[in-house]
Amino acid sequence: MKKIILFFSVCSFFTINAATNTTVLYGNEAAKKVPNSEVVRFKEFTTVPNYVKFRKGNELPLVKLESWLTSFYTSDANYGIKLLKKETDKLGFTHYRYQQTVNNVPVELSTIIAHVKNGLIESVNGEFFSDVNNPVNPSLSETGALAKALQSIGATQYKWEIPTQENLLKWELDDANATYYPKGDLVLINTNGDIKKELILAYKFNIYAEKPLSRREIYVNATTGAIVWEQNKIHEIDALGTATTLYSGTKPITCDNQGGGNFRLQETGRGNGIRTFTSGNTTGYPNTNITNTSATWVMTEAGLDAHWGAEMTYDYYLNQHGRNSIDNSGFQLDSWVHYDNNYGNAFWDGTRMTYGDGSGNSTPFTAIDITGHEITHGLTENTANLVYSAESGALNESFSDIFGISIDFINRPGIADWLLGDDLGFIIRNMENPNSQGDPDTYFGTNWASLSGGDNGGVHTNSGVQNFWFVLLVDGGVGTNDNGDAYTVNSLGLTVAGQVAFRNLTVYLTSASEYADSRFFSIQAAVDLFGGCTTQVQEVTNAWYAVGVGPIYSPVTISDFDAPVLSSCSAPFTANFNNLSVNGISFNWDFGDGNTSTLTTPSNTYNSYGTFTVELITNGGPTCGIDTTTKIAYITIDSNLACISILPTNGTASTQTACAGTIYDSGGSSGQYGANEDAQITISPAGASTVDLTFISFAVEPGTSGSCNYDYVKIYDGPTTASPLIDTYCDNNVPTTVSSTVGSITIVFHSDVGVEDNGFQVNWQCQLPNQVPTVNFVADVVTTCTGVVNFTDISNNGPTSWVWDFGDGNGSTQQNPSHTYTSNGLFTVQLTATNGIGNGNLIKNNYISVNMPTAPTINGDAVCVNNFANLSANGVGTLNWYNVAIGGSIINTGNTYVTPVLSTTTSYYVEDVITSPLQNLGKPNNSGAGANYNNNQHLIFDVFQPMEIISVVVYSGAAGNRTIELRNSGGVVLQTTTVNLPNGTSTVPLNFNVSPGTNYQLGVSASSIINMFRNSAGAAYPYSISGLASITGNSAGATSYYYFFYDWKVKEPDCVSARSTVTAIVNALPNVVASNDTIICSGDAANLSATGASTYMWDNGLGAGQNQTPSPIVNTTYTVTGTDVNLCVNTDVVNVAVSICTTIDELAGTPQVTSFMNDNTIVLGLTNLEKGSYSVMLLNSLGQVVVNKQIIISLYQQTELINLPTMAKGMYYIKLYNEVDNYLIKMVR
């Protein structure tokens, strides 16, 4: 009789994990929560997703991450992100790790990681908080908080109080400023460090105590002074020890030292911790610890096996696959042993591992292969989440067997085998020979269990197929399967086989995956890791063939390519090639025009007309071989062809200048357009008078209520989106033929998230003029105080050249020039436009009025070096100061400016700003019927002259973030601002600068909540300021509706003068040089002098004058202060040394010391000197030592010779001295 022992695992399509309170959504369910996503994971403490994987083609640009995150916040806090680090892995992903901030205060336990390729986020995960409402201004000082922290620690001595420790730290860090003295950083931290609890504003201190020894991070409530949390930085809590296990001998483990000789099976070093408890042979889960009196565990205890097994399983996934526990976020691994009585099983229930003691409570199910098996069920639940039935359930069980046995092989290489459970005295499964235990080794072969039968469709039985696949992949094998297929599989080893299986499970497989999926994606995993046509791909494929899943490996290289556009009406033309090759490693392209490439997916620019043959040689390496594809006359560039252009997914396509052609949406001639596209193209044929558009096909998602507010095409009568809007089109308003009134026409396409359709094909045809141009032009302003005027040609009949005369002696040949007038006055402007028929002319007399403010009058300053200067200016408006002549930031406002301390002559610049008055635009308030509204609508307005929208009034139905957007007529966002709105009425500063144009949009970002007041009656369009701006309507097209933004405050640009240059002249200090230091005899005069200035003043009672002759009686330092003609001063010093020279040459009538020169030798005669050792020093008049020697006087009369070096003529001094006597004698050479 076969003994069946089952392992249980609790699985679901949507993971709801009680331990971590997480929810994982896939596919459409994910997209409902997070647009453009295919996988989303949430934790209960925040509405910010814990994990998002974006759909291919809908990845989030990295630059939009911060704004994307704002859509999940539920409070009005000023959220931000701070980049902590970025890392790039071997597969080309760059992982950006960010910390959350609130009002620039870091949130301590927050992290979000963006996984990026080519600037696009393919997935993102981490923990950010969504509802932060704590104050960000402390009421407790840092000093006060430190006192609270130190009181909490209560040490008697700290590291920073010990000079040797401080010096050691400076040496270790090579930083003279390093110190242990704690600095308080303001952070937001969860109470007790529990991420699910309230965030508190706190000071964070790192405090290192000497007596008693500790190092802790202390978080002090910045309002109350209470200790919010503390974290031990000296990890003595976890003790390294050994355990005598039941099944694996003595093994190292990490346990928890609670102090007092009390150790328990808990640790915090791995992920969020590993804990092992005992159920005490009950069916409950008490938090009863397994304890010991030391870190050396010598006892009969199943918990030791479970604890060590959990540690080794964590280490396997971290060290072999770089995964931080089963959820890659440090999932805490909890185990309960001694479950129930006589319970012969082990299981994972979605939260924890549970182990019974077996029959008679004598065979605990805690062997390492079983421990690894059960924890891997948790890994599967957190990745593929394979449904626990039929084929997907068999895969679920198989992956647990694969990694359980792999963990056993790595940690017990001399004991491990392919038998699961043999440590318990019986065999649960035999991976190497599944048939021996009644399990299949071939897909649908012998022992295959019914997929609709017991054991959830044979999950424990049919797992044998993938188990045997893995054994063959590790060890290799030769044989014939149940289908009669002979196979040979070469060994890849445990490491490579594990990498393939792990990537298959964690990257590709989904909850309903079957054996065919596992084969396909394990091959893809091998391609990811090792490349196509590699040995690894071959053996993975052949191992599946050996177990009856799929055909044998057939190495092949297929070369193929295409290009979305194969012809052009003009050169240069860039062709973009798609590489469709299979199993290619390297590529060689020949584009037929002399250009080549080795890129995988290249582009080539053809610079001449003609027909070009393209060839691709695909090299799959020695295994896959080489294949060549040649496409004859593949690319054609001919001026007789119709021009074809495909819109980009975002951005502006090249302007089309041919007279005829075809335009497709981004999907080209056969594909669909994508989501979130904003593209435009202008058709401007040279010399055309008008352009006709004919839509051949059109399928664009319709909007609500007959509108086009989802996806749409807008067409403008002219070269830009500032040209008049002809109409907006979608399936609610299908275009047929559209014509411009001028020689250019502009097409704008927009799509939102959601439905994408087949798009459109539109042909264009230009009409050439049959008469001279009808000339006309406009200027963005006709009265200016800045002098800057932008002119726009609006002539008809297709002019091809232009000649402008601006009336100030300057002109231009551009079609739409910008000109800066440099003087005030009235100016007549003339435009001559020419086409192939002739030319036309228009003169607008006194058209431009320039009235620029006069530049400020200024007063500079002259100062000495290392002083500040006082600068001033006068004007009629506000004076702004800059440190650059053009651009830059304001450094001061007002009539005066005190510079920083200056070391060189420096110029500053000041301009006079005459502020334009505020004007009111729009509905003044929300009077009339209406209510708070949540759909995305906007106001539409025109601007006739440059202006700034200073602020608007809104009426908010709920507090929260709103992102307000200024968009052009095509819906492209030009400027944004995110504001925290309280409930009620608010004035919102915008400061949006708007150029002249039509159909601007003022609305709320699609990622923002709205919940603001909208009038449903009482609107009266247009709301206008003559010559400046007009609010003409709204996106809903309802004339009685008014959306969100009331009482606009707007103004024209301020009048700004030219900048005046204000110079702070910095004069150098005089180079005051005093005479050299000197030595004199007491009573003699010293000759002192100074140079380098205009006047001099000496201290020590000498007074004014360039030369001084003091007679000091003691050594004296004299300071001379020199002042130059710029009243700049400097100083120098001279030292006068005084020696006592009496009794040198005679004593009681008898000479004691005499000297005379004999060639280059001084002869000293010494009489009646005290006997002993003397120093003899010869000094020049500058006090410099020429000779220094020692002599011994032992006679009443004695002669000493001093041999001299080459010496200049002059005064010298001979100094003879010892500890008692000091003699000085002058000598002239």
By three-state DSSP, how is residue 242 classified? strand
CA distance 163 to 919: 67
Helix (H) or strand (E) holding 522: helix 515-530
374 among known catalytic residues = yes
Tokens matching residue 570? 């003009």
Burial-class residue 260 by CB neighbours within 10 Å (0-12, 13-18, 19+): exposed
Burial-class residue 639 by CB neighbours within 10 Å (0-12, 13-18, 19+): exposed
Spatial CA neighbour of 550 closest among 494, 487, 490: 487
CA distance 1169 to 871: 73
Instruction: Give the type of residue at 944.
Output: F
The sign of the dihedral angle between the CA atoms of 146, 151, 153, 159 is positive
CB 798 within 8 A of CB 775: no
Helix (H) or strand (E) holding 700: none
Concatenated DSSP letters for 266-293? EESSSTT-EEEEEEEEESS---PBPEES
Determine the distance from the C-alpha atom of residue 1074 to the mean position of all C-alpha atoms in its chain, rounded to a whole number: 60
CB 581 within 8 A of CB 618: yes
CA distance 1036 to 703: 10
Q: Which of 217, 301, 374, 539 is catalytic?
A: 374
938 among known catalytic residues = no
Instruction: Compute the half-sphere exposure of residue 661: CA atoms within 13 Å on the CB side of its CA.
Output: 23
Contacts with 523 (C-beta within 8 Å, 6 or more apart), sequence order:
537, 540, 541, 544
Concatenated DSSP letters for 593-650? SS-EE--SS-EEEE-S-EEEEEEEEEE-HHHH-EEEEEEEEEEEE-TTSPEEEE--SE
Q: Which of 338, 373, 377, 460 is catalytic?
A: 460
CA distance 830 to 850: 17
Rounded CA Rg of the chain: 44
Strand partners of residue 762: 663, 695
Instruction: Give the type of residue at 353.
Output: M
To the nearest 10 degrees (0 to 180), the angle between helices 390-411 and 493-503 is: 150
By three-state DSSP, how is residue 124 classified? strand
Spatial CA neighbour of 473 closest among 406, 563, 422: 406
CA distance 1018 to 678: 34
Instruction: Give the type of residue at 115.
Output: H
To the nearest 10 degrees (0 to 180), the angle between helices 390-411 and 368-381 is: 130
CA distance 1003 to 980: 16
By three-state DSSP, how is residue 825 classified? strand
CB 824 within 8 A of CB 830: no
Contacts with 317 (C-beta within 8 Å, 6 or more apart), sequence order:
323, 325, 326, 379
CB 746 within 8 A of CB 738: no
Task: For residue 954, give Cα distances in angstroms to 173, 454, 1165.
Answer: 55, 64, 108
CB 270 within 8 A of CB 314: yes
Residues labelled catalytic? 374, 460
